Chains A and B, each alone.
Chain A
Amino acid sequence: MRHVISILLENEAGALSRVAGLFSARGFNIESLTVAATNDPTLSRMTIVSIGDDYIIEQIVKQLNKLIDVVEVVDLTATEHIERELLLLKIDIDQNTQADIDEQIDLFSAKIIDISEDFYILELGGKSQKINDFLKALSAFKVLEVSRTGVTGICQKR
């Protein structure tokens, strides 16, 4: 099962490597990891997507809670929550493909954020599934570079 785990932690040097080190030392898997400071600059919010059965996820949450820098751990998957991810993508364009690519951009409501002579840079935000679908739709064309942020998430309760 895929889980989205949200971690509030002290915004201190080394905090990220404590979390990353915990995952590698205990053989837990990381699908994606995002982190940035919150509105309180002394705290960071980290969102980790991991895949594991209930036993593994329980261990991940407990072991994260043991880290001294960690203030709070929530398995968002267990509650109503919203997930978003951002994609930046570079794609080759030419006379033959441009119209078809434009059509996909419209279809997915993606944005062209930079245009050069022979390539676009596109931006698309949304659920991971939408981004996967967009990438699939573009796979018929010449994608030059893909950069995804990984998932960030928030609980829908107050």
Chain B
Amino acid sequence: MMVHGEIWTAKELFVYPNEYIYWSIQIVMYPFMTGLVAGAFVLSSLYHVFGIKQLRNMARFALVFSFALLFAAPLPLMFHLLKPLRGMHVFMTPHFTSAIAAFGIVFSTYGAIVASELWFLYRKHFVDIAKPLKEKKNKTLAEWSKFIVFCSLTLGVYDVSEEALRKDEKAIKILAGAGIPVACFLHGYAGFIFGSVKANALWMTPLMPVIFIMSAIVSGIALCMLTYILTMEARKLLSKNRRRPSPVHRSHDEIRSVQINEISMTARYLLFFLIFAISLELLDLIFRGYTAVKSWDVLRSVIYGKDFTSIFLLQYGLGNLLPLILFLAPGLTIRRAVVGVLLVLFGVFMMRWNVVIGGQAFSLSFAGYMHYHLPIIPHDFETFKEGLFGAAVIFVMPFVLFYFIARIFPVFDLKETH
């Protein structure tokens, strides 16, 4: 009879009999996805709160994307639970000495902030669509359904006077401002879940929440840049095919100049947070080596031995150093930016991997090791949801959601409202 975790765990030397890699790929995905959510939101707030004008388009885009990511973020936890149907118990009987217990509260607070900010941002858009439909007689079925959707989205508020819009603007600013600490809390707290496990020598450090926040912002910005470039490229293609320029759709060159401007601006913020994240991680590593407490012998053998490739080559080399060079080299092009952000995303994913899987790579006895073999071809539900395919489903989900959400909250070519 197979025990949960036995199928993907290989033991070496002295490991306690009950030890397996219980937290697998989905727990790698969980901080990765919440990190993307938090990062995307922080990016959008840079414009709304600090008034960084160059990020205007990016800000709106990032907010909508953050909303799409928000729905995908709790899914890895559900996939990971052995009793997923009991997931609601966390809301019903939260046990507040546990770091996981507050997840429901922090997460819904954050969701409410993003949703209300979106509403204020798109209120005029909803009214613009709902109002003519309301007045129109003999609506078709399609028009009826469109009317019902947008009419409900207005929440019955049709006031789009100059003064009302100014109030909207103010509300957005307040919500974006309040959202930054909440987003940081949401993710810092994911770091706390790991950092507070005293039984785990690799995880336990008060730096963990801060490291998580920094890398979260890095990954969120990177994903926003990537998706932004992809959608822009798609629009370029569309505008190429279109013969005569319409007033709504911008011309090819116009899109191009906007694009490179936004990207190089965003890249600067990406770099700033990336350098901060790397410094903290290195500080943690140096500190562990210098203090060399009881666990250091086994940690050193994992960090510099067993996991050397995934930590130093994949995470720091390919995921941090190379993109750093790519972005710092003069004359940033779109193509180079795409390679850069892909590498950054990979680097942050590897960091999550090295924390979650690396933290279970050694036994609690400090005298043995465990190796993780990611299930690739699923042969039952367990190896599907905690395997490569389960992780892929989680990763693709926000993009699919974004496609639908962007139908209601258009991110480009919105008639200038504010």
Query: Are A and B interaction partners?
Result: no
